[in-house]
Structures are given as C-alpha cells and as structure tokens.
Amino acid sequence: MSHVQSGTLTRGPSTLFLDTLDGSVADKPPIWLMRQAGRYLPEYREMRATAPSFLDFCYNPKLASEATLQPIRRFGFDAAILFSDILVIPDALGQTVSFETGHGPRLDPLIDAADVDQLHAEIDMNRLSPVLETVTRAKAMLGPATPLIGFCGAPWTVASYMIAGRGTPDQAPARLFAYRHPDLFQRLIDRLVDASVTYLTAQVSAGVDAIQIFDSWAGVLPTLEYERWCLRPVQTLVTRLRVACPTIRIIAFPRATGRQLIQAADGQVSALGLDTSVDVEWANRVMPHNLTLQGNLDPLALVAGGEGLDHAITRILKGFAGRPHVFNLGHGILPETPIAHVEHLVARVRAGL
Ligand code: 1CP
C-alpha cells in the first residue's frame, strides 16, 4: 500500500482504480459504469419508492449512501460513485429544481439578467450538507478496498439545464442564450465555476478519492463556443480545485467532442472519459501515452448482449492494452439493461483478453 503525501493532503491506500488513474498499467483494467447506481437495479427502484421525491432521496444520507453501495455489493465494481445529481448545484444556488417521474428534471428557467442575478452569489453549502454526509457514510461502508468517486456537472452542462428548465435533445435554449447574451452567460458560467470549486473541495474534504466532471452536452457546440463555454471554464475549475486539493484525481468527460478531445488532454486531468463515438485506435494513437483513458462501451451493446457485446468488449480491451485504462461505458447505463449482461461484462473484463 502506498501513501503519497503532497501538500496538506494524504492519499489513502492504493487500489487498482486509483493506481490506474495515477498512470499504472495493469493486465486487467479496473471497471465501473457511469450511472451504475440507479434505475436498472430492482433494489434501487424499491428503495426509491420510499422517498417522496428524487431530491429528497439525494438529500437523505441513509438512502443515498445505500444507493451508492448497491452496485458494489451486486457486481463488485472497482469504484463506487456518490449517489446524487448534477442539478443539486442549481438547487443550492436558489433555483427551483424538481424531478418528475418519467419526465426528468424541471427547473424554473433562467430567462433574463434578473433571473441570473437572483441566484445566490455563493453556493449554499448548508443545503448540500446531506450530500457530504452521504460521502462520509459511504466511505465508512465501503472501507479502504473500494474508492469513492465524487462528481459535478461541468458549468456548460449545468447551465444548459438552468436555461432550458428541462432536458432537451440539443440544448438549443442555452445555445441561443449564449449567442444573444454572451456577457450575461459568462456571468452564469463564472458563478457555476465558483460554486463547483466550493462543492468539489467539500466533497474531497469529506473523503472522495477522485472526481469526475460530467460535460454531457459539450458536443453540441461549435469549435470556438466549445473552447469558450466548456474547455476554459473546466480548465479554470480544475486549476482552482488543484490549489485546494493538490493530490485529487480528476476525470474529465467532455462527451461527443470528437477531435477536440485532444485539447482536453491538457496535462491537468488524471484521466479522460471517452464517449461511445470515439474510435479506440484513434484515441490510443493521438492521446499522450501516460494519460489514463476511460470508456467506452456503447450502453446499447450492453442492453443487447450476445455476440455484439462480446465483440465490443474485446475491441476495447485489445485497443487499450498496454496503456492505463479504466473500463467503462461511453455514457450512462440505460434503465432497461439486463442485470445478467452487466454480470457478464464484469466477468469478461476480470478474465482479461
Ligand atoms: O427517479 C429517479 O430515479 C431519477 C433518475 C435519476 C438518477 C438515478 C436522475 C435524474 N439522476 C440520477 C442519479 C445520477 N445522475 C447520478 C448518480 C450516480 C449513479 O446513478 O450511478 C449521476 C452521476 C448523475 C449525473 C447526471 N444527471 C448527468 C450527467 C451524466 C449523464 O448521464 O449525462 C445528467 C445530464 C443528469 C441530469 C439528469 N438527472 C436525472 C435525469 C433523468 C437527468 C437527465 C435529464 C435529461 O437530459 O433528459
């Protein structure tokens, strides 16, 4: 077991997942799945039915820590991810957020300057204290063998929900807003960077071992807008988080950004999450050799199972053999995914090539 000391923070015991984020190459990669806690698990659905709303569930440390542990107990993944949502940040900035079953999130959309200026200047960490308690509880339940991943949404992705007030196919409302009111949109992004730094620093203090920044909607922007609204704010966030937490491992997931993924490999992040569309051979060739790559099985291949799934797993294992790689999906697991297919995937990855 290694304990790396840097600044005032001590790193915990080494594990396959954390060592891989640090650049070690193993003969079999560690595996966890984006959105691994949640609706495809019957035990989650049963527990979820006991809470009045999804946000109540997220702010209940007992339920949320149990949901964090469920996929670990069932599948023995190499890392757990905190059970929460990216939209707790707008909630803690004073925007009204709710989740309607079957319809996804609903927020009071931000329409003009008055709406943006009405948000709290600083994130209300009292509101988020149950999430930090979930981290403490989940860490104690997991023990030292399974690291815990904390997360937030990237400023652009979170802003896109704050402006649309709901999920959309292409985040058109936020793109229109950013073209029409760039200065106002910049103010919103800056506020989200500040809020995310505060929130992630608190997650690290509470005990998470790594952070993933979900930029799920990075791929809908043209080049220059991607640089302005995604790349630079995430770089600022990461730089500031590293001042507060010098040793924290950070995974960036700028989904569907194609060749611009190369820009995200900026030497500051520990790993880059690859979405389903990224070609394994291309990524292996163009990405710095010591950079850990995470991904990128198509969630639909996991739903389908059979030979298609086996081919896809083999291609990823082969493609990333010899470089630091964390096996994962290219986006979140789908609610209709059969449990048996997840069991098969874990067994295949554990068996190696
Ligand atoms: O009633 C329910 O069970 C609600 C379903 C649900 C769940 C289980 C939502 C609503 N969020 C979550 C949990 C969640 N969300 C986690 C916890 C860990 C885990 O499940 O393993 C995480 C990491 C997220 C992150 C998240 N939320 C993202 C980024 C990742 C991604 O999939 O792109 C996004 C975009 C959201 C917003 C959100 N929250 C919930 C839904 C249905 C959505 C998507 C809305 C949309 O665009 O239509």
Q: What is the CATH number of the domain that holds 237?
A: 3.20.20.210
The pLDDT assigned to 14 comes to 81
- Identify the CA nearest to 150 among candidates 201, 76, 224: 201
73 is catalytic: no
Q: Is the distance from the beta carbon of residue 86 to the nearest atom of ligand 1 less than 6 Å?
A: yes
CA 84 / ligand 1 centre spacing (Å) = 8
Do the domain assignments include residue 214?
Answer: yes
The pLDDT assigned to 11 comes to 66
- Taking only the tens place, the pLDDT of each residue in 80-104 is 999 999 999 999 999 999 998 878 9
3-class SS at 289? coil
Residue 2 confidence (pLDDT) above 50: no
Do the domain assignments include residue 1?
Answer: no
- Taking only the tens place, the pLDDT of each residue in 29-54 is 999 999 999 999 999 999 999 999 99
What percent of the chain stands above pLDDT 90? 94
Residue 24 confidence (pLDDT) above 80: yes
Residue 5 confidence (pLDDT) above 80: no
Q: Ligand 1: which of 32, 40, 85 to mutate, most ligand atoms within 8 Å of CB?
A: 85
Do the domain assignments include residue 38?
Answer: yes
Do the domain assignments include residue 225?
Answer: yes
Q: What mean pLDDT is predicted for residues 69-74?
A: 98
Do the domain assignments include residue 4?
Answer: no
Nearest CA to ligand 1 atom 35: 216
What lies within 8 Å, CB to CB, of 349 at 6+ separation is 28, 29, 31, 313, 317, 327
Q: Ligand 1: which of 31, 34, 35, 337 to mutate, most ligand atoms within 8 Å of CB?
A: 35
Is 55 in contact with 352 (CB distance < 8 Å)? no
- Taking only the tens place, the pLDDT of each residue in 160-210 is 999 999 999 999 999 999 999 999 999 999 999 999 999 999 999 999 999
39 is catalytic: yes
Taking the CA of residue 99 as reference, the ligand 1 atom at the shortest distance is 10
The pLDDT assigned to 12 comes to 65
Do the domain assignments include residue 217?
Answer: yes
Do the domain assignments include residue 3?
Answer: no
Residue 68 confidence (pLDDT) above 90: yes
Q: What mean pLDDT is predicted for residues 281-290?
A: 95
Domain count for the chain, please give it: 1
The pLDDT assigned to 4 comes to 39
Domain span holding position 35: 16-351
Taking the CA of residue 38 as reference, the ligand 1 atom at the shortest distance is 8
- Taking only the tens place, the pLDDT of each residue in 292-305 is 999 999 999 999 99
Do the domain assignments include residue 9?
Answer: no
What is the band of 6 on the pLDDT scale with cuts at 50, 70, 90? very low
The pLDDT assigned to 7 comes to 37
Give the burial string for 245-255 (b: 16+ CB within 10 Å, else e): beebbbbbbbb
| Averaged confidence pLDDT in the chain | 95
Residue 308 confidence (pLDDT) above 70: yes
% helix / strand / coil in the chain, to the nearest 5? 50, 15, 35
Q: Is the distance from the beta carbon of residue 44 to the nearest atom of ligand 1 less than 6 Å?
A: no
